C-alpha cells in the first residue's frame, strides 16, 4: 500500500550534510536547501492542527530582514502566537531525518505519542513574503499538507502579522472573544477603524515617510492607507522603497535592520530636518523610527523608545479613565535595552520592568503574565498584551466624569489598534502616531524624554560557544569559571557602566554589550570584555 507521507518526503529529498534547527525565527537559511524542510513543516502543521481538534494553524514562508537569497518558515499557533517549544524540537528532529521512510515513521511516532487521530480534520493557513524562492517553497509546503490530508487556505502574499491575525481570527470566529473578520480586508477594516477612533479628531503634525524595505509591507501599506482617514483629517504617509517587482532588492540598503545596525537613514532617504521617518523589515513585523535634526544629525527612535512612549501613554489613559487601582502596567525588556530606558520606566513612569532572555518568545510569555504587558526588542519587534481580566475590567468600567469617559474611549480604541497576536510594524506604526498626536509631540520631544547611554555591541568569534553559559536573563556568565568576576571588575572602573557577554544563538560567537556614561568609556569597556571572552574562550580554555 502506498505511503503518501514517504512519497511527499521522497519528492523533496534532504540535501547532504545540512543540519537544520527550528529557532526563534523558525527555520531560516539559504533558500536552495529548504525544499525538504518545507514539506516536513507541512506535516508538522497538520499534526499540530489535529492535536488542537482541527483548529487552524499558520505556516508563514519568510526570512524577514535576511538577504534576498535566504528564506525560511515558521509555524503559528491557534491564537496567533509562536510555536510551542516542545514542537520546535519535534520540527527540528523531523527536518533532519535522512530518508523518506524515516520521515514517515517519525510522523507516525508523533501521532501515537500525542494520541492524534490521523483521520480527524486538519486545517492550515499558508502565507509568504515576496522572495523569488517563495512560489517553489510554497509548493513544497502544499505537498506536505496534501500528503497529510489537511484542508488548506492559501492566502498568497501577506505580511507575517497579517497571517497571525488571520489564524487568530479564524479560530475565534463566532466566540465572545472574536478577534476580527478572518480576511485581509478584515485586517485593514479593523486597524483602519481603530486608528480613526483612537485619534478622536486629533491630527498628527507633519507627515510620516515609511521605508518598506522593498518587501511585502509596501503593497500592504498602500492597501491599508485606503482604510485610514483622508490625509486632511488624519496622517499623511509617504511610501518609499516599495519595489517588490525586483525581489533581489529586498532589505538591500534599506529596512529596519539596516537603519538599526548602521545607525543611519537609508541612502535613498530624501527627507528634511525633523521629518518623521520609519523603516519596516522585509515581512513587516518590526519597525524603527528616526529623524535628522536641523544640524543634519541622525537620531534613532528604536524599540526601547517605542516601548517607553507607549507605556507612558497607556499609563496616562489608565489613570485618566479611573482604572489605576485595578490595572497594573509592566514593561518587558531584554538585557540589550538601554540602561537609560530602564531607569526612565522605573523612576519617571514608575512602572515595573521585567528582564527576560533575548528572543521574542520569552518577552511575549513574560508580557502575558501582566495585566498590561508592553514589550519591544530594541530592533523594533514588539506589541502590547492585555490580559483577559484587564479587558473584562475595561469593558465593565463605568466612567464617573466626561474626562474618564473620553480616556476610556481612547483606551478601547488603542486596544483594538494593537495587534496582540504578534509584533506588527503597520499596527505599531499607527499606534506611535496616535500617541504623538495626543501628546502633540514631534520626534524631538519624543527623543527628549531621556538620553541614551552610549553603548557598543561587539561580536567575538570563539571555538565553541557552548563554553559560555549565562544566568539572570543572560546578564551574568556562570561559565567559564572566573570570567564574570573579571567582567565585574572592568564594569566597576567606568561611570554608569554595564556589560554582559552571551553566546550567540546562531553561530560560534559571543556577543558583548557594553554601555557607560561616555562613548569612550563604552567603547573601552566593550574592548576589554571582548578580550576577556577571547582569553577564556580560546583553545584549551575550560
Give the annotated binding-site residues for Mg(2+): 64, 281, 283, 285
Q: Is 109 left (phi over 0), alpha (psi -120 to 50) or beta?
A: alpha
CA 156 to chain centre: 21
Alpha carbons 411 and 456: distance in angstroms, whole number: 37
Helices 519-537 and 483-492, axial angle in degrees (round to 10): 170
Helix (H, G, I), strand (E, B), or coil: what is residue 470?
strand
Torsion sign (Cα): 506, 509, 514, 520: negative
SS3 content of the chain, % helix, strand, coil (to 5): 40, 20, 40
What cell numbers appear for 249 in the block? 532588492
From 36, 64, 91, 169, the catalytic residue: 64
26 DSSP 8-state letter? B
13 DSSP 8-state letter? P
* Kind and range of the H or E run holding 456: strand 455-461
Q: Are 526 and 515 in contact (CB under 8 A)?
A: no
Q: Are 353 and 330 in contact (CB under 8 A)?
A: yes
Q: Are 209 and 276 in contact (CB under 8 A)?
A: yes
Known binding positions: 64, 281, 283, 285, 377-379, 502-506, 511
Alpha carbons 504 and 10: distance in angstroms, whole number: 34
Q: Are 498 and 491 in contact (CB under 8 A)?
A: yes
Alpha carbons 327 and 370: distance in angstroms, whole number: 9
CB within 8 Å of 108: residues ≥ 6 apart: none
What cell numbers appear for 37 in the block? 524542510
User: ω before 480 within 30° of 0 (cis)?
Assistant: yes
Residue with grid cell 527623543, as numbered in its chain: 447
Rounded (5°) CA angle 354-302-239: 140
Q: Which residue intervals of 216-338 are DSSP H helices? A: 217-225, 256-262, 303-320
Question: Any catalytic annotation for residue 393?
Answer: no
First-to-last C-alpha distance (Å) of the chain: 55
Helices 134-147 and 35-51, axial angle in degrees (round to 10): 40
Encode burial over 479-505: b for 16+ CB neighbours within 10 A, e otherwise: ebeebbebbeebbeebebbbbbbbbbe
Q: Which residue intervals of 212-302 are DSSP H helices? A: 217-225, 256-262
Residues serving a catalytic function are 64
Amino acid at each position: 500500500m502506498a505511503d503518501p507521507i514517504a512519497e511527499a518526503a521522497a519528492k523533496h529529498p534532504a540535501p547532504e550534510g545540512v543540519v537544520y534547527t527550528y529557532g526563534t525565527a523558525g527555520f531560516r537559511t539559504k533558500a536552495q536547501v529548504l525544499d525538504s524542510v518545507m514539506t516536513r513543516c507541512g506535516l508538522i502543521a497538520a499534526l499540530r492542527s489535529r492535536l488542537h481538534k482541527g483548529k487552524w494553524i499558520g505556516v508563514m514562508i519568510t526570512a524577514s530582514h535576511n538577504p534576498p537569497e535566504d528564506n525560511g518558515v515558521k509555524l503559528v499557533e491557534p491564537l496567533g502566537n509562536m510555536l510551542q517549544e516542545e514542537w520546535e524540537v519535534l520540527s527540528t528532529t523531523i527536518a533532519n531525518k535522512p530518508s523518506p521512510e524515516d520521515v514517515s515513521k517519525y510522523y507516525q511516532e508523533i501521532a501515537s505519542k500525542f494520541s492524534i487521530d490521523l483521520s480527524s480534520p486538519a486545517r492550515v493557513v499558508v502565507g509568504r513574503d515576496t522572495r523569488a524562492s517563495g512560489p517553489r517553497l510554497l509548493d513544497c509546503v502544499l505537498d506536505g499538507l496534501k500528503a497529510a490530508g489537511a484542508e488548506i487556505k492559501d492566502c498568497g502574499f501577506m505580511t507575517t502579522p497579517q497571517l497571525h491575525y488571520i489564524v487568530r481570527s479564524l479560530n475565534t470566529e463566532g466566540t465572545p472573544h472574536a478577534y476580527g473578520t478572518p480576511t485581509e480586508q478584515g485586517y485593514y477594516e479593523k486597524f483602519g477603524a481603530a486608528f480613526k477612533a483612537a485619534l478622536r479628531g486629533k491630527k498628527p503634525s507633519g507627515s510620516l515617510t515609511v521605508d518598506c524595505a522593498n518587501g511585502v509591507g509596501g503593497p500592504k501599506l498602500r492597501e491599508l492607507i485606503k482604510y485610514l482617514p483622508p490625509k486632511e483629517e488624519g496622517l499623511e504617509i509617504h511610501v518609499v522603497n516599495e519595489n517588490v517587482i525586483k525581489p533581489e532588492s529586498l532589505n538591500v540598503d534599506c529596512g529596519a535592520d539596516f537603519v538599526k545596525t548602521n545607525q543611519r537613514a537609508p541612502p535613498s532617504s530624501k527627507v528634511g530636518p525633523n521629518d518623521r521617518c520609519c523603516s519596516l523589515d522585509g515581512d513587516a513585523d518590526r519597525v524603527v523610527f528616526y529623524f535628522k535634526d536641523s544640524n543634519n544629525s541622525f537620531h534613532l527612535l528604536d524599540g526601547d523608545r517605542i516601548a517607553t512612549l507607549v507605556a507612558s501613554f497607556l499609563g496616562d489613559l489608565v489613570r485618566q479613565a479611573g482604572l489605576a487601582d485595578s490595572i497594573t502596567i509592566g514593561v518587558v525588556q531584554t538585557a540589550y535595552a538601554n540602561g537609560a530606558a530602564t531607569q526612565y520606566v522605573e523612576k519617571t513612569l514608575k512602572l515595573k520592568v521585567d528582564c527576560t532572555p533575548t528572543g521574542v518568545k520569552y518577552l511575549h510569555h513574560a508580557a502575558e503574565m501582566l495585566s498590561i504587558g508592553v514589550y519591544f526588542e530594541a530592533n523594533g519587534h514588539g506589541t502590547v498584551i492585555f490580559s483577559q481580566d484587564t479587558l473584562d475590567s475595561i469593558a465593565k468600567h463605568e466612567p464617573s466624569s466626561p474626562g474618564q469617559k473620553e480616556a476610556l474611549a481612547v483606551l478601547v480604541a488603542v486596544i483594538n489598534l494593537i495587534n496582540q497576536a504578534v509584533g506588527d510594524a503597520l499596527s505599531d506604526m499607527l499606534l506611535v502616531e496616535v500617541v504623538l498626536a495626543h501628546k502633540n509631540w514631534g520626534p524631538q520631544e519624543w527623543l527628549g524624554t531621556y538620553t541614551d547611554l552610549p553603548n557598543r555591541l561587539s561580536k567575538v568569534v570563539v571555538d565553541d560557544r557552548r563554553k559560555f553559559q549565562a544566568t539572570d536573563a543572560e546578564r551574568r556568565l556562570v561559565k567559564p569559571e572566573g570570567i564574570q568576576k573579571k567582567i565585574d571588575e572592568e564594569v566597576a572602573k567606568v561611570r554608569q557602566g554595564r556589560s554582559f557577554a552571551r553566546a550567540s544563538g546562531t553561530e560560534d560567537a559571543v556577543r558583548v554589550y557594553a554601555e557607560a556614561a561616555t562613548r569612550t568609556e563604552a567603547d573601552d569597556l566593550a574592548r576589554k570584555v571582548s578580550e576577556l571572552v577571547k582569553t577564556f574562550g580560546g583553545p584549551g580554555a575550560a
